[in-house]
A and B are shown apart, each in its own frame.
Chain A
Amino acid sequence: MIEEEFDAIVVGAGMSGNAAAYTMARQGLTVLQLERGEYPGSKNVQGAIMYADMLEQIIPDFRNDAPLERHLVEQRFWLMDDTSHTGMQYRSDDFNEAKPNRYTIIRAQFDKWFSRKVREAGATVLCETTVTDLVRNAKGKVIGVRTDRAGGPIYADVVVLAEGVNGLLGTRAGLRKMLKPQSVALAVKEMHFLPDEVIEQRFGLQGDEGCVIEAAGTISRSMAGLAFLYTNKESISLGIGCLVSDFAKTMESPYVLLDAFKNHPSIRPLIAGSEVKEYSAHLIPEGGYKAIPQLFGDGWVAVGDAAQLNNAIHREGSNLAMTSGRIAGEAIIEIKGRNQPMIRRNLALYKTMLDKSFVVKDLRKYKDMPALIHTNSRNFFMTYPQLMSQAAQNFMRVDGTPKIEKEKATTAAFIKARSRWGLISDVVRLALAWR
Chain B
Amino acid sequence: MHIVVCIKQVPDSAQIRVHPVTNTIMRQGVPTIINPYDLFALEEALRLRGAHGGEVTVLTMGPPMAEDALRKALTYGADRAVLLTDRCFAGSDTLATSFALSRAIVRIGETFGAPDIVFAGKQTIDGDTAQVGPGIAKRLGLLQFTYVAKIASIDLDAREITVKRRSEGGMQMLKSRLPCLITMLEGTNEIRRGSLDDALRAARSQIVKWSAAEAGIEDLTKCGLRGSPTVVKRVFAPTTRAEKATQIDMTDKTQHGVADELIAAIFTRQPALEHELAFDGGQ
Contacts and interface: CB of A to CB of B under 8 A. Distances in A.
A190 B28 CA distance: 15
Contact of B29 (A39, A154, A235): A235
A109 B203 contact: no
A18 to B, nearest CB: 15
A129 B196 contact: yes
B127 to A, nearest CB: 22
A191 B195 CA distance: 35
A106 interface: yes
A67 to B, nearest CB: 9
Contacts of B204: 124
A277 interface: yes
A391 to B, nearest CB: 41
Given A108-B31, A193-B26, A235-B28, A149 B68 contact: no
Contacts of B19: 195
| Main DSSP-derived SS at the B contact region | mixed
Nearest 10 A/B pairs, CB to CB: A151-B196, A150-B195, A149-B196, A151-B195, A126-B199, A152-B196, A124-B203, A234-B28, A151-B197, A193-B17
Of A2, A129, A154, A191, most B-chain CB atoms within 10 Å: A129
Interface of A: 2, 4, 39, 42, 106, 108-109, 119, 124-129, 147, 149-152, 154, 191, 193, 195, 233-235, 273, 275, 277
| Main DSSP-derived SS at the A contact region | loop
A277 B196 contact: no
B169 interface: no
Given A126-B203, A275-B17, A108 B29 contact: yes
A313 to B, nearest CB: 30
10 contacts: A124-B200, A124-B204, A125-B203, A126-B196, A126-B200, A149-B194, A149-B198, A150-B195, A191-B29, A195-B19
Contacts, number: 59
Contacts of B31: 39, 42, 108
Contacts of B245: none
Given A129-B199, A150-B195, 17 more contacts: A106-B28, A109-B28, A109-B29, A124-B200, A124-B204, A126-B196, A126-B199, A128-B75, A149-B195, A149-B198, A151-B195, A151-B196, A234-B28, A235-B28, A235-B29, A273-B20, A277-B17
B277 to A, nearest CB: 39
B241 interface: no
B15 interface: yes
A385 to B, nearest CB: 33
Contacts of A124: 200, 203-204
Of B19, B21, B199, most A-chain CB atoms within 10 Å: B199
Contacts of B199: 126, 128-129, 149
Contacts of A119: 203
